[in-house]
């Protein structure tokens, strides 16, 4: 369902990255660990189609990402890849529901209020539908960020350092929520982090 082969990227002659091959089926999880400067963010950007590899291949549902034009790639990402960022990205002037409707609109999907409510309830924040993001606690913001990533039923969920600013209790909760959402949508989940606390929660892990 999702795989990478012989991925290589270089910013210049002194900054080159060779990445291990990855293959994940529906609902499978993978933890990718690594310290700063080892290429974690570069790998995430390659998988998300935000960077194009110098060589190698990234394939999701039979589509080779870097063979798409920029416009088609943007549309494919919006429809099929959900990204949970280290710091939640919201339009602060909009409510949680409106932010999620915007994500649906940008992916050229029909606004689906039922789906929005369903996702928020599955994450335990159904009562925050009409709240502005800056009125949410840190933990609630992280849950809302996961909601944004999964509202379009992605075929791949990527998480970039999702627990780095959380205490141990919330770290474990967010990992569980991500795994739960991956199961619900049947999407492979790939978490890229330096947070060693997550190791005990994932059977499959690689270190860059």
Give 10-25 pLDDT, tens digit per residue: 998 888 999 999 999 9
What is the model's pLDDT at position 129?
92
**Whole-number Å distance between alpha carbons of 32 and 20:** 10
CATH (one of 3.40.50.970, 3.40.50.300, 1.10.10.1800, 3.20.20.30) for 2-207 = 3.40.50.300
Q: How far apart are CA 75 and CA 35, in angstroms?
A: 32
What's the pLDDT tens digit per position in 67-114? Answer: 999 999 988 998 899 999 877 789 999 999 999 999 999 888 888 999
Q: What is the value of pTM for the model shown?
A: 0.88
Distance between CA atoms of residues 75 and 11, nearest Å = 26
pLDDT for position 14? 82
pLDDT at 59: 95
Token representation of residue 58: 């990234």
Sketch the domain layout of the chain as residue ranges: 2-207
Kindly provide the b/e burial profile for residues 150-173, where b requires at least 16 CB atoms within 10 angstroms of the residue's own CB: bbbbbbbbbbbbbbeebeeebbbb
Q: What is the CA radius of gyration of the chain?
A: 17
Q: Check residue 155 and give its pLDDT.
A: 92
């Amino acid at each position: 369902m999702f795989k990478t082969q012989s991925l290589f990227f270089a910013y210049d002659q002194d900054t080159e990255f060779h990445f291990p091959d990855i293959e994940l089926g529906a609902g499978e999880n993978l933890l990718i660990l690594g310290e700063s400067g080892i290429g974690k963010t570069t790998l995430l950007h390659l998988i998300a189609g935000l960077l194009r590899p110098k060589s190698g291949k990234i394939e999701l549902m039979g589509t080779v990402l870097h063979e798409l034009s920029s416009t088609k790639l943007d549309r494919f990402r919006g429809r099929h890849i959900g990204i949970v960022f280290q710091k939640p990205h919201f339009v602060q002037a909009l409510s949680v529901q409106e932010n999620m409707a915007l994500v649906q609109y940008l992916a050229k999907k029909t606004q689906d209020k039922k789906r929005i409510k369903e996702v928020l309830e599955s994450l335990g924040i159904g009562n925050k539908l009409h709240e502005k993001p800056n009125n949410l606690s840190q933990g609630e913001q992280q849950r809302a960020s996961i909601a944004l990533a999964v509202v379009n039923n992605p075929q791949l969920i990527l998480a970039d350092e999702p627990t780095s600013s959380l205490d141990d209790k919330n770290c474990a909760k967010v990992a569980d929520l991500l795994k739960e959402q991956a199961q619900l949508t049947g999407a492979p989940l790939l978490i890229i982090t330096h947070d060693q606390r997550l190791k005990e929660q994932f059977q499959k892990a690689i270190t860059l």
